Amino acid sequence: MPFREKTAWLTLCAILIVTAMFWLHAPDAFNAHNHRWVLLALVLSLGTYVLIEVVGYLVLRLRNPRDAKTPKDERERLIDLKALRFAYYTFVIGTFGGIFFMLHLVHAGPGTIGTVVLVAFVVAQIVKHVARIVYYRRDA
Amino acid sequence: MAPTAVTNSIRRLRFEHGEMTQQDLAEQVGVTRQTINAIEAGKYSPSLEVAFRMAAIFGVRVDEVFHYGGPVG
């Protein structure tokens, strides 16, 4: 498996783990309007994500020193751009679709709309890394 | 990425140049081994710069490495 594909798997797993950890407890806090907990959970989630990424990347780098030193070539940059396009559409559709749904159909408040944007961003990141993995696997 | 209309003779040229490995060629061209594999399999068309670099490594013209088999005009 190419080094870049391994890093894509690492990021995808980190996002899924941190998102699952956050949403396992978030609904209770949202329902209780415990905004301090939500903020703390967001900061802790971000910290956990960075920790998983840094430790995972260092392990991958130690196990594949030659591949890690090789800069991204034109095909890998193209794969990143194509994956980013999927993520962009996901984010735009998710954000505007979600806001429309929340405002006109559910009549939700601004806090919920902020959550919609956050969810759209996370889903877009997941789509981006899944797309990267699919492109790497198809071209390997 | 969809298969391209560009075919190539990289495998033969590698064989004729001392059975050069994909990794050796990749290092000389400045791309990853996976990219050489994708080009060789016709799944990715390289940039002109990479195509010329490959031709220079094999000591042949670009049209001896890559061949266009698609429609013209």
Q: Quick check: pTM over 0.90?
A: no
Note the pLDDT of residue A11: 95
Q: Please give the share of chain A, as a percent, with pLDDT higher than 90.
A: 49
Beta carbons of A140 and B38 less than 8 Å apart: yes
Q: Please give the share of chain A, as a percent, with pLDDT higher than 70.
A: 91
How many CA atoms lie less than 13 Å away from A53 in the CB half-sphere?
12
Of B32, B44, B47, the CB nearest to A70: B32
- pLDDT band for A30, please (50, 70, 90 cuts): low
| Best residue in B34, B40, B43 for a mutation probing chain A (most A CBs within 10 Å) | B34
Of B30, B31, B37, the CB nearest to A140: B37
Query: Any chain A CB within 8 A of the CB of B47?
Result: yes
Smallest Cα distance from A80 to chain B, Å: 13
Determine how many CB atoms are found less than 10 A away from the CB of residue B38.
21
Mapped to the 3 state alphabet, what secondary structure does chain A carry? CCHHHHHHHHHHHHHHHHHHHHHHHHHHHHHCCCHHHHHHHHHHHHHHHHHHHHHHHHHHHHHCHHHHHCCCCHHHHHHHHHHHHHHHHHHHHHHHHHHHHHHHHHCCCHHHHHHHHHHHHHHHHHHHHHHHHHHHHHHC
Note the pLDDT of residue B68: 86
Is the complex ipTM more than 0.90?
no
The whole-angstrom separation of Cα B42 and Cα A112 is 48
The whole-angstrom separation of Cα A22 and Cα B69 is 53
Right CATH for B6-68 from 1.10.260.40, 1.10.760.10, 2.60.110.10, 2.40.30.160: 1.10.260.40
Residues A39-92 have pLDDT tens digits of: 888 888 899 999 999 999 999 999 988 888 888 899 999 999 999 999 999 999
| Chain A residue numbers touching B25 (CB-CB < 8 A) | none
Among A residues 70-99, those touching chain B with beta carbons less than 8 Å apart:
70, 73-76
Residue, of A26 and B24, whose pLDDT is higher: B24
The whole-angstrom separation of Cα B47 and Cα A74 is 8
Domain ranges of chain A: 1-70, 71-140
